[in-house]
Structure 1
Amino acid sequence: MDTFIQQILNGLVLGSMYALIALGYTMVYGVLNLINFAHGDVLMIGAMVGLTVINLLQSMYPGLPGYVDLAIAIAVAVPACMLVNIIIERVAYRRLRNAPRLAPLITAIGVSMLLQTFAMMIWGRSPLPFPPLLSTEPIMIGGALISQTQVLLLVLAALAMFGLVFLVERTKMGRAMRAVAENPRVAGLMGVNSDRVIVATFAIGAGLAAVAGVMWGANYASVTFTLGVLPGMKAFCAAVLGGIGNIYGAMIGGILLGIIESLGAGYIGDLTGGFLGSHYQDIFAFVVLIIVLTVRPSGIMGERVADRA
């Protein structure tokens, strides 16, 4: 039983990060019908910027508590990633809104490679150690262990997701986002500035990815210029699992995928004598994607994208 609780906790931690990243995919798709495959690399930029800020703080103000370093790193990484994503939207995607769908898809892949190249030039090829900021003494929950960093990650992810739901459901900007997602032409006739809404959507998604990136580095203690590739692909699988374009689906899909990975790496690894253990846990996300696309292509919650034909 303790092992099961431990796997669930590990899955919630991993799934919370997937959910934060998946929200960026699903928000942009809901508004533009565009898959921004460079979104995973925005996560990487957030982790790299956060690490740089933490190293600077520790060299200039070595006496600061770890949670202060982490808070400042997130506070800097969020606007940095927002700026990157706004530039990407303005330079790479804006002129392709009415182009055939293959054009923005290829552009997104190109932007992803460009971001990785820039990161490699700035931070180097080798993995960079992420310094421990919080106490390493674990917390016991129901017979399972969870670190203070993971607890903070869960709290931040929950706050970010609740904040996003409030923004989308209760604010003027959220109503504008839903209007543009439903029908951008009619929304424009009603006085909604579609360009502003789209820029805000990219910025909010980048902010969530920045939080996930900094906490990913803090949790796994290492970052590299290719950090965003695999988490980005898995988060896209999570968005499809939950229902692409549906923010609730992205949250559910991310958390569910994290739990599936954790349980799969643990129990399926035991059943196969270690053949499909933790070293093969990356396959579970893509197996789930294949099953979902075969059985229920619209995902668990269903797509929330209007027919704009």
Structure 2
Amino acid sequence: MDRFDAMRIFARVAERRSFTLAADDLGLPRSTVTDAVKQLERRLGVSLLQRTTRHVAPTLDGEAYLRRCLAILADVEEAEGAFAGAKPKGLLRVDVHGTLARHFVLPHLPAFLATYPDLTVQMSEGDRLADLVREGIDCVLRVGVPQDSDMIVRRVAMLAEVTLASPGYVARHGMPASLEALGDGHRMIGFHSTAIGGVLPLEFTVGGAVREIVLPAAVIVGAAESYVAAAQLGLGLIQVPRYHVAAALRAGDLVEILPDHPPTPTPASLLYPRSRQLSPRVRVFIDWVIAEFAAADRR
């Protein structure tokens, strides 16, 4: 095994904190991965990894060597991709907020893969901020403002938000003509946010300022699809990105409430590790996502 392959194996073990997961990622037997790291340590004359029955972590020497390995591996990948006609290839791991995946990413993914036929996209869905390095994920696409993140954040869009209720809810409770009218028996559907560890208040803009209002809630959910479904059943007011409910608005299943006082727009962002140089496959994915959101604004 040459030095480049050994560096690639060590880097994956160090990032994944696991010989088994690294072997799965690279499509190699675990014994091959273990032997490659041992040979690398013998050649360098240092211990690169601390090993226990449950945990694998880089030593101080391992951390320093990992940084050099990642830079070298990225340079080699970029150099190979610089030749005319060369296109990124390999496995791209992304984690995408579910509704963004279904509305913005998946519908246009066939065209992306047609452009880069040697790429394989492994997409997971979530709303937490994944530990990219530990979980082997290349980048994530999220809504909202990332909290306490040491990753690089690329804003891709500001998503217009809307306040909604079902026609049945409006028939029972009336159409509020002002924010003050919300206090006359109106209810909201609570959305439990993992980011704040509680229920999000309703948010309205008034003369450029933001006003938060909390209404009684008989139902609290933690998933976007359930949030919209509960509103369609007439259980209360909700606030979501307009794109998410465009079809329901057109069909009349939901109606807009207080359009003169919309919630503030919600950012959508791509995040990737600060410690890594961008590989060509990650770079083309990021550029493609940014272009798709820009095109969606023009549609």
TM range (shorter): under 0.3
TM-score, normalization by structure 2: 0.21
- TM-score w.r.t. structure 1 length? 0.21
* Greater relative contact order, per chain length (Cα 8 Å cut-off, separation 6+): 1
**Structure number having the greater helix percentage:** 1
Name the one with the larger strand percent.
Answer: 2
Q: Which structure has the bigger radius of gyration? A: 2
